[in-house]
Structure 1
């Protein structure tokens, strides 16, 4: 779910300038989703189309520059599809083992540079993962209609070691939500700074990683209309960390995650596995304990079967943190 395949490439060159590469790639998926807790429509058509455009070039001194933007359309809770949203831009500069990402980019947790936060997702939509419901502030590259806080991330890899650090500034980012049925308008303004730092190590078929971070600031929620009208200010000062260990043993691949977040009641933990039952078919299982007292345990089992040409049949069933059954089935094709 977090990866984009770039399968088509156009080469653009001008006299006296280094060659620049423009590539387009993404995926599409469609099928059925059953969500017991969806009051609008518990069974609906699932659909997503994602297109990412990436431009790259290399300077005379060998620095590699990259910029990208994404377009995506999804289904809604009522089964309808939205008009395609676009993303803010993300940029990167890299040379040797160094890479600097700036703008709308993944932080340390989301990027997977050092910690395997998501593991092997289950089902067509990967809605059941080893970190489902953990709540740690892992933010990445996506689409939407709200302002996007900038992130700066630096990564350095030497041999089997990787170190990474990121800073995200949510300074005066406002998100609004209007409920036409009730006439209630909710406006949330976040003034928050977050940093993360981590280290990872690969040894043979195994890898281990650790990341630590802190978020500090405030959130102001203004509700206009309805019985809850008013202004609420919430101070934010949370430490968090995540530790992962994973690897492969023959046809079996596994990932184990332990995390702690001040905003949760207890330590969170989860694991996921993938087992190849043939050249084209794999079985997946994921489990998560969110560390929140009122939450149920998250678990699910599913499969992926390759049809060739970047096309696969995927499905799964399980239970979400609210205790509701979730299931999906459909086709994913990468391009």
Structure 2
């Protein structure tokens, strides 16, 4: 991330006061995306793919050496809502199949404190699986959009720092990481705040109100990882529980009102010269079978690599996802990327475009 320094010094009130800085960084991408039998449009769909991401980060260090960070993010993508008329009836496609651009969304704030081998993340931050602290969960993604990764459509809850609608409420996460030499341990806890919704028209025009309900969720994850030479191995696991209560049946709960999901993932990866690989195996109570996936990358030159990814998500009724693609550096943080493959729904997918980092 290239830093644009907005403030390098503060007014000095006493000797030894540390300087603070604010930086912006991110990336942009645009190109073409194709998906066979896109359910969000009529028949096959080719659309303009676009994303612009801007992350603002503030960093300062206290007199005793503690490093404090805070960040927020702004992002715009191809539109998630595309109204079209079919037979005189307005129909909304929610997948952005026609390539319009949405208004930039923003994120909740994430914070971090670092001291030596310890790092504490608080707020809108990644959990253990998403952070990559102990294992490579996603691997080497294929295509401009990484439409296939080694963990595509898995049932394990991996969540991180992203953007949402303006009125969204983000569950806070606390994550602690400790690194000593080649060993890393990490643990996270997410507290899902209670939410009461309902009392609004259900959109049918009949004046029916949606039922009020309460959700309460919590999730914990823990993992360890170890680097030895050019190789890494990591193990992570945890539990996510969600309690849903419909006020209309408070005294008659059903099995569907509570979800308790235990999960785990084991990863192994490394590189041998120009060749790099990543393998991950995982399972959860929500899956029918154990999921597994792998991805590889081979540098055919100093500026070009080819990559392949495969994922079996362990759910009956889903296909295996796979794809092959390339990345070619144009210098200055700009790269040409593309790929072709098949997703977990059995649809052929392809994309091609440019990514520029700043």
Q: Is TM-score (shorter-chain normalized) higher than 0.5?
A: yes
1:132 aligned partner: 152
Q: CA deviation at 1:216?
A: 1.6
More strand by share: 1
Alignment of 1:173-188 (within 5 A): 173=195
My pick for the range that moved more, 73-82 or 202-211, is 73-82
Q: Higher Cα Rg: structure 1 or 2?
A: 2
Aligned equivalents of 1:20, 1:307: Cα separation in 2: 34
1:227 aligned partner: none
Is structure 2 residue 32 aligned with structure 1 residue 9? no
Is structure 2 residue 39 aligned with structure 1 residue 19? no
Is structure 2 residue 128 aligned with structure 1 residue 105? no
Q: CA deviation at 1:9?
A: 2.7
Q: CA deviation at 1:220?
A: 5.2
2:305 aligned partner: 282
Going from structure 1 to structure 2, the CA distance change for 1:185 and 1:271 (only over 3 Å counts) comes to farther
**What CA deviation, in whole Å up to 9, does each residue of 1:205-260 have, x standing for no partner?**
000000010012323589xxxxxxxx995311111000000000111000000001
2:225 aligned partner: 200
Aligned equivalents of 1:51, 1:317: Cα separation in 2: 28
Q: TM-score scaled by structure 1?
A: 0.91
My pick for the range that moved more, 165-174 or 177-186, is 177-186
Aligned equivalents of 1:98, 1:29: Cα separation in 2: 34
Is structure 2 residue 83 aligned with structure 1 residue 87? no
My pick for the range that moved more, 233-242 or 137-146, is 233-242
Return 5+ residue gaps in structure 2 as ranges: 80-95, 248-253
Return 5+ residue gaps in structure 1 as ranges: 223-230
Alignment of 1:26-175 (within 5 A): 26-41=26-41, 42-76=45-79, 77=96, 78-145=98-165, 146-173=168-195
Asked whether the 8 Å contact 1:148–1:173 carries over to 2, the reply is no
Q: SS of the residue aligned with 1:110?
A: helix
Q: TM-score scaled by structure 2?
A: 0.85
Aligned equivalents of 1:79, 1:262: Cα separation in 2: 36
Alignment of 1:216-235 (within 5 A): 216-219=241-244, 233-235=256-258
1:238 aligned partner: 261
1:226 aligned partner: none
Q: SS of the residue aligned with 1:263?
A: coil
Q: CA deviation at 1:190?
A: 3.3
Paired residues in the alignment total: 323
